[in-house]
Amino acid sequence: MKFVNDNGALVFYTMGEMVRIEAWGKDSLRVRATKQGKFTGNIWALTEKVEPCETQILFEKEDNWVGDGTITQNDLVTIINGKIKAVVNFAGVISFYKEDKLILREYFRSYGGTISKESRCLKVINREWKGIIGGSEFALNVKFESNKGEKIFGMGQYQQENMDLKGCVLELAQRNSQISVPFMVSSLGYGMLWNNPAVGRVTFGNNYTEWIARATKEMDYWITAADTPKQILENYTNATGHADMFPEDLMGLWQCKLRYRTQDEVLTVARQYQKEGIKIDQIVIDFFHWTVQGDWKFDKTYWPDPKAMVDELHSMGIKVIVSVWPSVDRRSEHFWNMRELGLLIKTERGAEQTYDYQGDCVEIDVFNPETRKYVWNVCKKNYYDLGIDAFWLDNSEPDYGVYDFENYRYFEGPALTCSNMYPQLYSRVFYDEMSKEDKPVVNLLRCAWAGSQKYGNVVWSGDVPSTFEAFTDQLQCGLNMGLAGIPWWTTDIGGFMTDDVNDPDFRQLLIRWYQFAVYSPVLRMHGDRGPYNIPPLDNRDWGGGYLHTGQPNELWSYGEDNYEIMKKYYYVRRDMLDYIKKLYEEAHVNGSPLIRTMFYEFPDDAKCWELTDQYMFGDKYLVAPILHLNEFAREVYLPEGSWKLTSTGEVFEGGCTVKVDAPIEYMPVFERQ
């Protein structure tokens, strides 16, 4: 095996493979490999200019002999950047150390052994490339040894109960309510970004860890070492980007439902809030306010003067956000022109269709810069120039009719190679243009990828059921999204899919979810509320009037007793706005999420690494949401220190578990003293 010191980067060649290890920010290394003789030059999520680092490269044998560029058995090559170092043996197996402690090692079970000199006959290698017949891409499988006792967090959002991802299998693909952000935080003091938007899979097994890209031209990952999770996130966001500063006038209540059908409905709700003395910061106009998908404009039948509507809402101090989908119906005035210009996703075989909800649709190809220009120009004319403040970029995965990624092709190449980056580029259709005006950009998306935090994205957890089980899942979803570098996160309060708003069990769920949302980044009312007994506005099969609408979803819609509880918590939120502003500043500066796992604030407390049903809202408030029906008391673990229960003012000394009451009017919250 041959090696080269390329201006402080370690490059080695083995079995037709070129591998490059180089410093990429403080205490961090980027590792790339290819079988094609040269790298693509793609930076993917590593968009930021990082501070220059001086590395050490050491070539040595067990007896400290310095080699001449040819690695033979028992030779080791080491590259060091601050706290992290990588050691390569003669078989090309890479081991990573945090200072002198082994934190991660590639898995190798073949002739020739590993650094530990074990020899196996399994012929399992650390980096396995298999050429895709008829293409220039490879299927790539990269294996690492599994560390016993390690806990793994981050990776985005998966609808499951497991917060610790050790033992989990995760699809590296975007779906409605599933968000692949492939950055993991380890309890061993390192973080790793799989810097590859290819569709694939990761298995954090107890026998080994396995990263799979179904089609790619190169391996690319980034690894950092630090003493605390907070420092890991800081290193990561320094390399991938920081969230902008969130505007103060959006830190309160956002009002939404499925769906306001007319501008009169929107104005009626806004006026009622004003009459009630409740300030809403933003009102959301949901889908099918348009004519057909892909027209990207108001249906004039029901929205005759949207500019006058926006002007009145602005006079009340309310911003307006409008839903935009990436799907283009064949009936759209833009479909055939966009198809001719090559601005839509291609199918490899079969019907030219990618989406079939309420129309025969093909979705836009956001990898094509001409697509991004085209869609922005239409939306600017039909929305932004009317005073619309922001865009709700729904279906941003995109939401395929069938998730057969091998059947889709983008301007960038086969969907298998890059589809996970689609939501980020979709957000940039709007962010790249809106940010030119030098004012905050805050758009709402259903999906994200590594680095999406820098493009003005509030990411919500998708169309989830209205159940306590789903509510429990959202807690770990939000916490792991934060650890994956996405601090602007929200959920549909009460869940999205509700059968009966009059069900007392649902109303209890709604209150518990609302209480949680008050102590989360964005407080947003939304949901598809049954029963569906409201007749459509007309009998056309297109336009703003034909699709169903859900039941009312304003604070006062669920009875006076629940309204009083929600009003009380609304004012709790308002009273915390200065504190919430501070949390958003932290997210902007060092990448810290607003909702934090217990170990994020207390990394030296082993118990905090086990907790999955409580969290910190910043560094001050310990929040214990009520996650079960008819639960009116619960146990809460308090780390060392003094903690004041906000409902009673009682002060508890930490280092123990306490049981506290939780009537429907109150969710247990402790203030750190």
Asked if 499 is an active-site residue, the reply is no
If residue 572 lies in a helix (H) or strand (E), which one and from where to where? helix 560-575
Give the model confidence (pLDDT) of 540-580 as tens digits: 999 999 999 999 999 999 999 999 999 999 999 999 999 99
Q: Which parts of 277-368 fold into alpha helices (H)?
A: 306-315, 335-340
> pLDDT tens for residues 24-83?
999 999 999 999 999 999 999 999 999 999 999 998 764 443 444 555 566 899 999 999
Using alpha carbons, select from 489, 485, 599 the residue that is nearest to residue 193.
485
Is 385 marked active-site?
no
- List where CATH 3.20.20.80 sits in the chain: 248-324+369-396+428-590
Among the options 27, 220, 394, 601, which is catalytic?
A: 394
Termini Cα distance of the chain? 59
Q: How far apart are CA 558 and CA 531, in angstroms?
A: 14
Integer Cα distance of 671 and 673 in angstroms: 6
Q: If 0-12 CB within 10 Å is exposed, 13-18 middle and 19+ buried, where does residue 100 land? A: exposed
Q: What are φ and ψ of residue 55, in 5° steps? A: -105, 160
Helix (H) or strand (E) holding 186: strand 179-186
Question: 597-672: what fold?
Answer: Immunoglobulin-like (2.60.40)
Distance, in Å, from the CA atom of 501 to the CA atom of 392, rounded to the nearest integer, reads 25
- The two structure tokens encoding residue 160: 């499951």
Q: For residue 86, what are its two tokens?
A: 């990588």
Amino acid residing at 76 = L
Q: What share of the chain is helix, strand, coil (3-state, %, to 5)?
A: 25, 30, 45
604 is catalytic: no
Residue 90 confidence class, pLDDT cut points 50, 70, 90: confident
CA distance 478 to 154: 10
Question: What are the Cα distances from residue 548, in Å, to 260, 264, 289, 395, 542?
Answer: 10, 17, 12, 19, 12
Q: Across the chain, which distance is largest between two alpha carbons, in Å?
A: 85
Contact 114, 150 (CB under 8 A): no
d(CA 361, CA 176): 17
pTM exceeds 0.75, yes or no = yes
Q: What pLDDT was estimated at residue 75?
A: 81
Distance separating alpha carbons of residues 36 and 517, to the nearest angstrom: 49
pLDDT for residue 362:
98
Eight-state DSSP code of residue 556: G
C-alpha 328/C-alpha 360 separation (Å) is 8
Residue 440 phi/psi, 5-degree rounding, is -60, 140
Alpha carbon 600 to its chain centroid, in Å, reads 18
Catalytic residue from among 463, 499, 605, 613: 463
- Chain Cα centroid distance, residue 387: 28
CA distance to 238, 290, 465, per residue, from 511 (Å): 38, 32, 15
Q: Looking at residue 119, what is its pLDDT? A: 54
Amino acid at 31: V
pLDDT at 67: 42
Q: What totals of helices (H) and strands (E) does the chain contain, helices first?
A: 12, 41
What integer pLDDT is reported at residue 61 of this predicted model? 63
pLDDT given for residue 110 in this prediction: 86
What is the reported pLDDT for 563? 98
Query: Regarding predicted confidence, which is higher, 606 or 541?
Result: 606
Q: What is the mean pLDDT of residues 291-299?
A: 98
Phi (first) and psi of residue 561, to 5 degrees: -65, -45
Q: What is the pLDDT of residue 60?
A: 74
For the cut 60, the answer to whether the pLDDT of residue 391 exceeds it is yes
Enter the tokens of residue 646: 């906000």
Among residues 596, 475, 491, 637, the alpha carbon closest in space to that of 185 is found at 596
Find the catalytic residue in 210, 397, 412, 528: 397
Phi, psi of 20 (to 5 degrees): -125, 125
| Cβ burial 5-16 (10 Å sphere, 16+ → b, else e) | eeeebbbbebee
- Residue pLDDT, tens place only, 1-27: 889 999 999 999 999 999 999 999 999
Is residue 116's pLDDT more than 60? no
* Domain 2-240 grouped into CATH 2.30.42.10: no
Mean pLDDT in the chain? 96
Full DSSP string of 401-421: SS--GGGEEETTEEHHHHGGG
At residue 65, the pLDDT reads 38
Q: Which residue ranges does the chain devote to CATH 2.60.40.1760?
A: 2-240
Task: Work out the average pLDDT over 256-279.
Answer: 98
CB atoms within 10 A of CB 242: 18
Residues of the chain with CATH 2.60.40.1180: 597-672
pLDDT in tens, 184-205: 999 999 999 999 999 999 999 9
Strands lying side by side in the sheet with 169-172: 127-131, 138-145, 208-216, 200-204, 169-172
Q: Report the Cα 622 to chain-centroid distance in Å.
A: 23
pLDDT confidence of residue 62: 47
CB 105, CB 115: distance < 8 Å: yes
Sign for the CA dihedral angle at 290, 295, 300, 304 comes to positive
For residues 607 and 596, the answer to whether their CB atoms sit within 8 Å is no
Decide: helix, strand or coil at residue 157.
Answer: strand
List, for residues 410-462, the tens digit of each pLDDT value.
999 999 999 999 999 999 999 999 999 989 999 999 999 999 999 999 999 99
Handedness of CA 89, 92, 93, 97 (dihedral sign): positive
3-class SS of residue 393: strand
CATH of domain 248-324+369-396+428-590: 3.20.20.80
For residue 126, how many other CB atoms are within 10 A of its CB?
21
